Amino acid sequence: MPSYVVAGASRGLGLEFVKQLLAKGNLVLALARNPDKSTGLQELKGEKNLHILKADITKPDELRAAVAETGKITGGSLDVLINNAAYMTFENTFNAIDEYESDAALAKSFNDHWDTNVLGVVYTTNAFIPLLAKGQLKKVLNLSTGLADPAANLDLEFDQNVAYSVSKCALEMVNVKYAAKYRKEGWTFLAISPGVVNTAEEARTSSPLPQPDRTTVSHTSTAPDWAIPGLQAMAAKFQKYAPTWTGPITATESVGKMLSVFDKAGPELSGKFVSHHGNREWL
């Protein structure tokens, strides 16, 4: 059976990846910063093809330990790595790039996002490359966001989510750099945006407003309040950008669409950045 590592598997999209991959009969190794605190993972603990590993993607030593444990479980190989873990906070979310309260606040925001969304992905990918090299599929999925697309930001006149957008834009180049090296060897590196997904554990299911598309947030646990003006304005921009858009999709639908795109992708698409639709339509 194919083997998968899902980084950032404690909740949201990461947990849904685990569920859907298990349902297809795959061997799944779920990485989480604090797996004991993940209700979702603990509920799945009895699944015979699931192995839960503790690893913070910003800590190379923990990743190396997870790689060693993965190798013992899989016999020294890995077919697929899914880099889902990411950092996004609602602190300074609604500031434009010149509206941070101080230089220190700006630097902290950029560094916090960079450490997880860029360096964390590089640390994780580099750590697992030796196992992937011995796998059959040699595929890596990097979770991104439509907010990383410069053209979409201009069309949306979207001047918020600055550090998050910039870090995820950098992630596209990370994806390209890996593809540039490994595509000729038959590897596939694909960056995919999940769309606008309601992933908050405490999300109000009756709200017509979306949660910004995101991967599992590794350091933020508070669900957003869509009544606040900033999120109302964000939703209005989404609706103006795509008039036929009807609101957020569920994590189940998003992951199903992403896996459909990813499963069909081969080395010819390595280095590309697409949406859950398989194109550049982000909503």
Active-site amino acid positions: 164, 168
Cβ proximity of 9 and 84 under 8 Å: yes
> At 275, which helix (H) or strand (E)?
strand 273-275
Distance, CA of 105 to chain centre? 25
Phi, psi for 10 (deg, rounded to 5): -75, -25
Instruction: Compute and round to an integer the Cα radius of gyration of the chain.
Output: 18
Question: Which residue in 47, 40, 49, 56 sits closest to 8, CA to CA?
Answer: 56
How many other C-beta atoms are found inside a 10 Å radius of the C-beta of residue 28? 26
DSSP letter string, 69-89: HHHHHHTS--SEEEE--B---
Cβ proximity of 72 and 3 under 8 Å: no
Query: What is the torsion angle, in degrees rounded to the nearest 10, for the CA atoms of residue 141, residue 45, residue 38 and residue 74?
Result: -30
Residue type at 152?
A
